[in-house]
Amino acid sequence: MQNRMMITGAGSGLGREIALRWAREGWQLALSDVSEPGLQETLKLVREAGGDGFIQRCDVRDYSQLTAFAQACEVKFGGIDIIVNNAGVASGGFFSELSLEDWDWQIAINLMGVVKGCKAFLPLLEQSKGKIINIASMAALMQGPAMSNYNVAKAGVVALSESLLIELAQQEVGVHVVCPSFFQTNLLDSFRGPTPAMKAQVGKLLESSPITAADIADYIYKQVAAGEFMILPHEQGRMAWAIKQKNPQLLYSEMTAMAEKMRAKAKQNNG
């Protein structure tokens, strides 16, 4: 390990905090995002925290931009040791309300963006015997109501990570998948959904969380060091996952009740 890390979606939120956590250990960081001003700010903070690196604008939907980013890592760093596929967008709405365009957009960024990130950087990781950290969500494991396209995309990230864990073991490439619950972040900036009420509900959940993106970055740092594959930063998330593994029906019933409440509330607001 030569302490070289790549992060997508590094211009804000969890991506930025992961960059800062590793920067404090003196790592070199290759930072990408669709927001150039966000990247400039992250790089400034990274340098203040004791790290260094470079920025490159990159849309994870475009494989050629990711391969160009991998080439830049090879030229500037001589390779890469850890990649963090973090770029993602939020969406919500009941299945009947979501358009196929909503599905395409969500899958293209939150699932295929991760697939393309892994694909573009795999040759470098095989050389360095590095690690992949994919950022999924508790939505991948819990499938909450009114976010089916988000649930499916994030569940795909977990399935991809499980597949790579098995396939890349012989190449000595490590794989980790992170499933945070709601935390204080600017995810809503990218939110897409059929109703403003849905956005407001998600916003409340994000704001009311006692856990910050910096807390999650710190938890990820420790769990990766400990070699943990499935990283669940929230205690409530760990409890919910344990319940689902033992008694899935219990959780489905709870989610069904939650869906009914959400529909009733939406009716009230529209009434």
Residue 93 backbone dihedrals phi, psi, to 5 degrees:
140, 145
150 is catalytic: yes
- CA separation for the pair 239, 234 (Å, rounded): 9
Q: Which of 150, 219, 221, 252 is catalytic?
A: 150
Put the strands of the sheet holding 131-135 in their side by side order: 52-57, 28-33, 4-7, 82-85, 131-135, 174-178, 230-231
What residues are annotated to the active site?
150
